[in-house]
Amino acid sequence: MFSKNIGGIDRILRIVVGAALLVGFLFNGDAEYGWLYLFGIIPLATGLLSTCPLYSIFGMNTCPRK
């Protein structure tokens, strides 16, 4: 479907940030803007799949060259 375009450090950062936001939702989901923590799903999913649709649109790639 999509080719991999996310490298190692970028991938790890996305997973950590996405997981941190979702944990923040679990602990602070009843806050007024607590639903914003759910945006953590996006970096978590792109990190786990190693592909980012926006990177594809802009022609970016952080994977090491083969």
Q: Where are the domains of the chain?
A: 17-58
Q: What is the pLDDT along the chain (66 residues), one digit of tens a residue?
A: 678 999 999 999 999 999 999 999 999 989 999 999 999 999 999 999 999 999 999 999 998 876
pTM for the full predicted model: 0.88
d(CA 39, CA 1) in angstroms, rounded, equals: 23
* Residue-level pLDDT at 38: 95
* Residue-level pLDDT at 1: 65
Q: Which residues contact 10 (CB under 8 A, 6 or more apart)?
A: 47, 62
* Residue-level pLDDT at 32: 93
* Residue-level pLDDT at 66: 61
d(CA 2, CA 18) in angstroms, rounded, equals: 20
Residue found under tokens 């953590």 = 40
Residue found under tokens 């190692």 = 8
